[in-house]
Amino acid sequence: MGKNDRDWIPDATDLDFIESLARPLPPALAAIEAAARMPRVPIVDRDTGRVLAVLAGGRRRIVEVGTAYGYSTLWMAYGQGPDGRIVTIDPDQSRTDLARSWWRQGGIADEQITVVNAPALDAFAAADPALAGPFDLAFIDALKPEYERYFDALRGRLAPGALVIADNVLWSGRVSGARPVDPSDANTNALRAFDRAILADMGFLGTILPLGDGLLIATVRA
Ligand SMILES: C[S@@+](CC[C@H](N)C(=O)[O-])C[C@H]1O[C@@H](n2cnc3c(N)ncnc32)[C@H](O)[C@@H]1O
């Protein structure tokens, strides 16, 4: 018997109940969801977006690695409110230009979100003042084999009590072995190493929420 054996797990009725209590989805977020379906652009799922908004509340300075169409960015911007500031990194300007149009549609002032169009590791190494920090929240959602190096680059830029969040850390069951995977799969191996390293890091207190594709959250220990 595992530690998490229990006689109840949420089913569709529970999920429908949760959905029925949610506030209406802002049209800009709905527009991004629709655009990301075809051609498919990977974005966090809506439940993860809602959690990001909650976690962004009260965190004024956010850095994000991996913008795409700005869906997770917009959830966090809504959670922060107009005084918040987000710096988001993605080398694909064709995506981030579209993201900006949806952020504007969603009522977010341009100065709330700064885009850095470069590979994240280059941007961190380039001493761009926009990335100097300190940040109150860092959200990682770009190249899986680089997650540990993003974390290494970020750790010196985090404020006391800051939160680090990373998406896809269960990688659809491949990381735990629930789903068969080629042992040489680079994404799976990198995510496994990342999960182990962060949860064992004495400078952080972290866990993994079995939400979406797996959401790691870790806070800087005081
Ligand atoms: C999973 S998507 C991000 C989704 C977004 N966080 C969301 O949920 O709305 C990953 C993004 O990482 C970007 N990317 C690829 N290489 C990168 C790099 N070296 N540094 C930063 N971002 C990168 C891709 O262009 C892609 O848009």
**Residue whose C-alpha is closest to residue 125's, from 152, 163, 86, 148:** 152
Question: What is the full DSSP assignment across 118-162?
Answer: S-HHHHHHTT-GGG---EEEEEE-S-GGGHHHHHHHHHTTEEEEE
Residues 72-122 have pLDDT tens digits of 999 999 999 999 999 999 999 999 999 999 999 999 999 999 999 999 999
In the predicted model, what is the mean pLDDT of residues 153-169? 97
> How many Å apart are CA 111 and CA 82, to the nearest integer?
10
**pLDDT exceeding 70 applies to what percent of the chain?**
98
**CA of 206 relative to ligand 1 center, distance in Å:** 23
Residues with CB under 6 A from ligand 1: 42-44, 65-66, 68-69, 71-72, 89-92, 95, 119-120, 141-143
Mutate to test the pocket of ligand 1, among 86, 92, 117 (most ligand atoms within 8 A of CB): 92
Nearest to 51 by CA among 75, 21, 70: 75
Q: Binning pLDDT at 50, 70 and 90, where does residue 9 land?
A: confident
Kindly state the helix (H) or strand (E) to which residue 46 belongs, with its residue range: helix 46-56
The pLDDT assigned to 4 comes to 67
- Cα 137 to Cα 155: distance, rounded to the nearest angstrom: 11
